[in-house]
Structure 1
């Protein structure tokens, strides 16, 4: 069995979601919401389209230092996000060990944030697409807990439902927490965050 690669310094933070206003305030676009929070913190004023992604150069302050990173939002749908992301990484010469992918996670309670290096894909189609296109599962993930749907509601309906009121407020607070966790990954590294963000 191939030895697992080790994470390197993060150069690109990729948020997963679905493009378009009808998906903007849905749990499935947790990654987009987190990247948007990071863009706001670093006063990003310009996004450009490259390789099928919306991308921006950001300077994030973490641990008293400025870290230059690329923020990316693949503009294909979630299930095919690996295509645009892998193309962007090739163009920018960024390796899988230098990315942090932010995604929604039904197996974590609402509001919970976890950092994970490599491992399984947990039936997440966005992660599966990325792993397939990169040819490896050795990349960092930031898991944004959205919880399980209530009653007999399907996961798809739950993840794609527009959020309102207190549900939207809670989601936006978690996006800020997730953005802070991304900054901590820049400051302390992915493996430290995997063990310490609880």
Structure 2
């Protein structure tokens, strides 16, 4: 079983926040492949089904932890244990401050980079999980980070956000087949990052 995890906070209050873009990615994937329905399991909301890929049909579980962002690992661990999967079967989609808005990067392994949802997941599974990093840009001041991630996407950001989430969904068969380089390439080709002033701070941080 391949497990796709979206990070976010539960409840209507947070639903449109930048911090919930991982949840949004899973919603688009579920709609695109007609997976579901969503139901409560593993301390989260899940839906499952099979997705056709170039190499055949792959069973997938989509998981939105309902434990709040910083404790996401509890739900992921429960799902992995139930299906007897490994960390290599898990891909976590999450917001990324250190990527410019609309930029997407796929990564396997490594540290949590200060992301507490990843920190929790790595504490439960180790560092070998895969990550789909969705750039939301950095506000430029560390004191403004919490307000930035817990604010809704601006109206002007919604077009690139929706295009990127659609591109991720359309490219998912490549990820499920293990063709991660092609997955990254297809997402970037379908939804290149926009050229926006908000990107300046994140670009500077990427260069550090």
Normalized against structure 1, the TM-score is what? 0.85
After superposition, where does 1:14-53 map in structure 2 within 5 Å? Answer: 14-53=5-44
Q: Which residue in 2 is equivalent to 1:157?
A: 147
Deviation at 1:65, TM superposition (A): 4.0
Aligned length: 188
Match of 1:126 in 2: 117
1:72-111 equivalences in 2 (<5 Å): 72-111=63-102
Give the C-alpha shift of residue 133 in structure 1. Answer: 1.4
Which residue pairs with 1:117 in the alignment? 108
Mean Cα deviation higher: 23-32 or 43-52: 43-52
Task: Give me the CA root mean square deviation.
Answer: 2.3
User: Where does 1:62-81 land on structure 2 (aligned, <5 Å)?
Assistant: 62-63=53-54, 65-81=56-72
| CA distances 1:73-99 after superposition (whole Å, capped 9, x unpaired) | 111111000011101211121111111
Alignment TM-score, normalising by the size of structure 2: 0.81
Distance 2:181 2:5 in 1: 18
- 2: CA distance between counterparts of 1:133 and 1:187? 25
Which of 164, 182, 193 in structure 2 is aligned with 1:174? 164
**Any stretches of 5+ residues in structure 1 without a counterpart?**
1-9
The structure with the greater share of residues assigned to helix is: 2
Which of 44, 47, 50 in structure 2 is aligned with 1:59? 50
Shift in alpha-carbon separation, 1:104–1:87, aligned structure 2, 3 A: same
Structure with more relative contact order (C-alpha pairs < 8 Å, separation 6 or more): 1
Distance 1:62 1:112, change over 3 A: farther
Shift in CA distance, 108/190, structure 1 to aligned 2, threshold 3 Å: same
Unmatched 5+ residue regions in structure 2? 189-208
CA distance in 2, matches of 1:39, 1:76: 21
